[in-house]
Structure 1
Amino acid sequence: MRTLTAFLIGVLIGAIAVWATFDRGSGLLGRLRRPPTGIPTAMAPGGQVREFRLDAKPARWEIAPGITTDAWTYNGQVPGPELRVREGDLVRVIVINHLPVPTTVHWHGVDLNWKMDGVPGITQLPIQPGESFTYEFVATPAGTRMYHPHQDSNAQLELGLYGALIIEPRNAPSYDVDRTIILDERALDFTTAVAMGQAELRGADGGNGRGGAFQYDLFLMDGKAASAIPIINVKPNQRILIRIINLGNLTHAMHLHGHTYRIVAKDGNPVPPTAQLRMDTVQLSPGERFDIEFVAYNPGVWMFHCHMPNHGDNGMMTMMQYEGFKPIGPVGHALHLAAPPAPAPQTAAATVSSPRRGPVVTVPMLDNRFAPASMVIKAGTTVRWLNRGQNIHTTTSLDGSWDSPGLDRKQSFAFTFTKAGEYRYLCRQHLLNGMVGTITVK
């Protein structure tokens, strides 16, 4: 028995030794040998301290010749400045808030200390108007990253607060052209006043856009539309890298004419060579990034655009132009936008049944709650839900007794309770935030 045990132990030790020889530190044993790696807190050897300043401030921004709009900007531009560092650098960003509202900056895709993540109420207090905050982190991992607020994100991103953070690897490949392009959409009537709740969007739905009810006018690349977008200048045989970032609300399908390219990174993370697809159109969901790489092999002037026709026709189109070539004629046309329609009459009340005679109780709908969340009433009482918050809300009963449409600011919905019982209801938009209520009828 002892001989058999010794033999089995010897076989096991030999197998492990062979495995370790072929593993070479990259497989399971390699992972077991390496200690767990945490978030780096110190600058890497050979790294540098890279300090930037971002002034969040209002501005007028020209999207295309003759078309300007309200914007909230970093350093007076949309997108904000591209911050380019090397992996292992110590990054220090001083954010000064000149906006009329609080803000933060989130470093999307960066491994950092949680207190630097820029989420109000979770990782930090919001940066109040007139105040500043310093973010500090070690740049890792390498790749195409981005930055944007997480304070009232829908409004602040819509007005232009976003930018690219490029973390170059220590041994970065060499490119002749390394271009970042940020995709976005723009509703021209989404102004500072709308964001502040002092005005409403145009059209029959009105509102302030916080429920996603935007009517987009233009589709942007790097904060510009159509001929205002800087073209991509190349020469034959150059090695090209284009980093595409979707910081908008919609999906976009970016197509380059006359060329195919390889997807070398997804969301900033390298794609292994054996998995790199060769494509001519790549689709990006909100928040998604793709790095595309190719060698300039087909001289001429080539269109680069979103293949969703209404997006490309309304601004999301530029060119890749080889040295020595020019477009045959005028590129596109000036963007002529129809005047906004006159505001439609607001239907401030919607009811599933006409309110009957009897008492009326109003339940304010605030940003993520009903106030109060529960109440006791008598049969025959009409409850009127009034949206006094900034977001679109609904009031929807669990038993199907009533279901309101989306209610924007100052809109209301009424229902008369005629039968005793307990009625539970919720906001379909904000159920996960705990926006539920109970009405007990006696």
Structure 2
Amino acid sequence: MLHTIDLRGRSHSTSDLLALVPRAAVDVGVASERAAELIDEVRRGGEEALLAQSERFDGVRPTALRVTAGEIAGAVESLEPAVRNALQETIRRVRLASEAQVPPATVTELAPGASIRQRWQPMGRVGLYVPGGKAVYPSSVVMNVVPAQVAGVGSIALVSPPQREHGGRVHPTVLGAAGLLGVDEVYAMGGAGAIGALAYGVPGIGLAPVQLVTGPGNVFVAAAKRLVRGRTGIDSEAGPTDILVIADDSADARWVAADLISQAEHDELAAAVLVTDAPAFAEAVLAEVERQASATTHRERVAAALGGEQSAIVIVDDLEQAAAFSDAFGPEHLEIQTRDNESVLARIENAGAIFLGAYSPVSLGDYAAGSNHVLPTGGQARFSAGLNAASFLRSQQVVEYDREALSGVADAIAALSAAEVLPAHGDAVRARFS
């Protein structure tokens, strides 16, 4: 089921490891042409184009794209008590953790009368995408909405695909989560067309363009986000989920296997990777994976994910090599289950979120840890971070000098402007003292 990559007995450069990491054959660029067509349809056809796309791709034509306030309120009322309580507790925890992500305003005094104020300005309006394909994701409503609210975003539009099983409406649990958070602008639309609608707006239904689009989706959603970048901001091009577990023989093979399967059930292209320095432990995990996978609900999906080229067991000489491989992989979710977790953690640079110890599984982060589960996938953790309150903020510097302070740097400005052959820059300063 899981193939093996044996790295023992050899030293590997970063380039070597990058070439060795298992990846699904997903190319966002391949979907770009089709995504561009769908976005263009929405720009030209507005509401009618979105309805037609829903009928084509979701198998249902919504009676209306904009969800009414009454429907949202009804969805809140119909939430099962256990689900409602779980959502409220998740909201509380994510809000607390997100509040710690808001940078403080600061003032730097460079000289008497010379200061730079650092401020963080929230986006005025954002669009949040909640997928609705193989599963229902009310937790993604929480993960998108809460950091935006904590950052101070004043206007939030939420989109989610219409569900054929619910008569073309947004899934009621997703609506209920939105209602609990006070989100009252919700649209039944999905895919690349929905991303285009958020970026360019749809005047016919009162959907104004947004400044930032966040949230995961399929390859067409990822392609659409790439295409609208520049017209609006995006968080990342989120693709199939992945998990990498660094474990030694002190870990419980049953638990590690369960964690690998938990992410494999998301999608046939999900990646599940174990990196260990203990070959016997690797065999035990493989046996457990095969046993547990055959009994899980989505066994066909799990088997496809674990049997794909993107999933593997990697055997290394030691945990130092394990950390180096993990950094090359750049996991969305990294679990560390070893005798000395802190020493392994100290070697890690690249990961979307890190789950330390046997009692911190990725499932915890997917729901109730308080951390955010909208994370960089496909190795993007090597250069980007997960969604957080700061994602909805723009860093701005406010420069304020008085006459004496400007005088103190006038000669430096004149010298540099002359060196760059931009004399009008220096002249703009001299004019204030002539």
TM range (shorter): under 0.3
Q: Which has the higher contact order (CA 8 A, sep 6+)?
A: 2
Scaled by the length of structure 1, what TM-score is found? 0.25
TM-score (ref. length: structure 2):
0.26
Q: Which has a greater percent of strand?
A: 1
Task: Choose between structure 1 and 2: higher helix proportion.
Answer: 2
